Structure 1
Amino acid sequence: MRTLVIGDIHGGLKALEQIIERAAVSTKDTLIFLGDYVDGWSQSPQVLDYLIALDKRQNCLFLRGNHDELLLHWLQNNHDNPMWYQHGGESTVIAYDAISEEKKHEHISFLLSLRNYHIDEQNRLFIHAGFTNSKGVTIEHFPRMLYWDRTLWEMALSLDEKLERDSVLYPKRLKIYSEIFIGHTPVTQINETVPVHKASVWNIDTGAAFKGPLTIMDIDTKEFWQSDSLAQLYPNEIGRN
């Protein structure tokens, strides 16, 4: 039995189906999804349908991403957000033109059920973005930062690798958990397309919203499997490029 963590999907159902097949996922495996299931490619509603069905077959943990919150607000309030449109929301709105009201309510229920974080028995943290409190996620003063923050990853990236962990200068946030698994900020920003490990942080967002692949990784062995580039899977679309 494995525990597998999955990066940001952004409406790319074809990529999700590929990684499930390539990792030979079985019903004995536990799947942890890091959020951002929607916005980018054209199949955001179908991704949510797939995840809802998958949850009935095996143990899944679904975390909340910032794009998932944006979609929830739109579905609940039909609230137009120009910034959201410019960052993948337009493709989602178009895709929902063909979705029934009944199905929309089912998706609202799913989006409301998402978790802000998960901590396992080995003190490994799974979270979409990051956190700001030096004592950890359980007392985060700004809960929305759990799926919007970028400072945790920026700190891990910029940390001097020669700095000893017991130094008074070592960032407290990077010592709380044995490992932290995040998405949110694509590693393609640093010219990578595979999971990147910095300090205690593993970034699993390999740029599926743009031209990178989608990734699934075994949290124990660190073996990972990837889809084809999303731009190849959806050649007639632009995603968030």
Structure 2
Amino acid sequence: MRTLVIGDIHGAYLPLMQALDRARISPLDTLIFLGDYVDGWSQSPEVIEYLINLRSSYNCIFLRGNHDDLCLNWLNTQQHNSLWLKNGGQSTIEAYKRITQPTLQHHQSFLETLPSYHLDSENRLFVHAGFTNLNGVNFEYFPEMLYWDRTLWEMAMALNPRMSPKDPAYPKRLLIYNEIFIGHTPTTRMGITIPMNAANVWNIDTGAAYKGPVTVMNVETKEFWQSDDAYTFYPNENGRN
């Protein structure tokens, strides 16, 4: 019985399949997906359809990412956000042109139900991006920050690793939860394609939207499994490059 956390996917259906296969997922596992299922590669509808079906046989928790929220807004309004289009949204629009209306509505309903965070019995927080309130996610004044914030990860990265949590100056946000698992900010920005750890924060977004892999990590042991680099599955596409 493992708890497995899965990083950003961004329409990379084939890499997702490979990563889950390499992790040898079991119905006894708990699978926590950190969001950003869409926007990037051409198989966003396939990713969503797979996740919807996966929950019938597996214990799954699907969190909301900023791209999922942007996609949902488009599905609800059909209004085009130019920034979204430039950051993977166009591939999602093109992909959904081949999807039937009932399937599209089914996917829309799925996206509407996504929670913004998950807190488990071990006081481990799972959230797409981060949070800003010093008292934790339950007190966040701006709920959108749970899937947009980058300051939590930036703070953890900048923290002196020799600084004690007992130091009065130690960041309070890092004391609330035993561990925090995030996506959103690709590790490839640091030239790294494996999960990164800073303080008690683990970043599982290994850049599948760009030229990195999809990653699955065991929360307890920190063992991880990865797909091949996502771009190798889609040689005629650009992803979010």
Fold shared per TM-score above 0.5: yes
TM tier relative to shorter chain: over 0.9
Report the TM-score when normalising by structure 2: 0.99
Correspondence for 2:83: 83
Q: Give a deviation string over 1:107-157, Cα, whole Å, max 9, x none.
A: 111001101000000100000000000000011000000000000000000
Report the TM-score when normalising by structure 1: 0.99
Q: What are the residue-to-residue correspondences of 1:158-197 with 2, within 5 Å?
A: 158-197=158-197
Letter in 2 for 1:97: K
Letter in 2 for 1:18: Q
**What is the deviation of 1:180?**
0.1
Structure 2: how far apart are the matches of 1:37 and 1:8? 6
Matched, 1:111 2:111: yes
Letter in 1 for 2:9: I
Q: What stretches of structure 2 of length at least 5 have no aligned partner? A: none
**What is the deviation of 1:38?**
0.2
Correspondence for 1:96: 96
Q: Give a deviation string over 1:193-235, Cα, whole Å, max 9, x none.
A: 0000100100000000000011000000100000000111111
Q: Give a deviation string over 1:12-55, Cα, whole Å, max 9, x none.
A: 00011001110011111110000000000000011000000001
Correspondence for 1:55: 55
Correspondence for 1:217: 217
Letter in 1 for 2:74: W
Correspondence for 1:18: 18
Letter in 2 for 1:203: N
Letter in 2 for 1:184: H
Correspondence for 2:126: 126
Equivalent pairs counted in the alignment come to 241
Structure 2: how far apart are the matches of 1:98 and 1:22? 30
Letter in 2 for 1:135: N
Classify the secondary structure of the residue corresponding to 1:98.
coil
Q: Give a deviation string over 1:150-195, Cα, whole Å, max 9, x none.
A: 0000000000112111111100001100000000000000111000
Correspondence for 2:137: 137
Classify the secondary structure of the residue corresponding to 1:4.
strand
Structure 1: how far apart are the matches of 2:26 and 2:161? 38
Q: What are the residue-to-residue correspondences of 1:36-75 with 2, within 5 Å?
A: 36-75=36-75
Classify the secondary structure of the residue corresponding to 2:97.
helix
Classify the secondary structure of the residue corresponding to 1:240.
coil
**What is the deviation of 1:236?**
1.0
Runs of 4+ in structure 1 off by over 4 angstroms are none
Correspondence for 2:148: 148
Identity of aligned residues (%): 60
Structure 2: how far apart are the matches of 1:161 and 1:198? 8
Structure 1: how far apart are the matches of 2:161 and 2:55? 39
Classify the secondary structure of the residue corresponding to 2:38.
coil
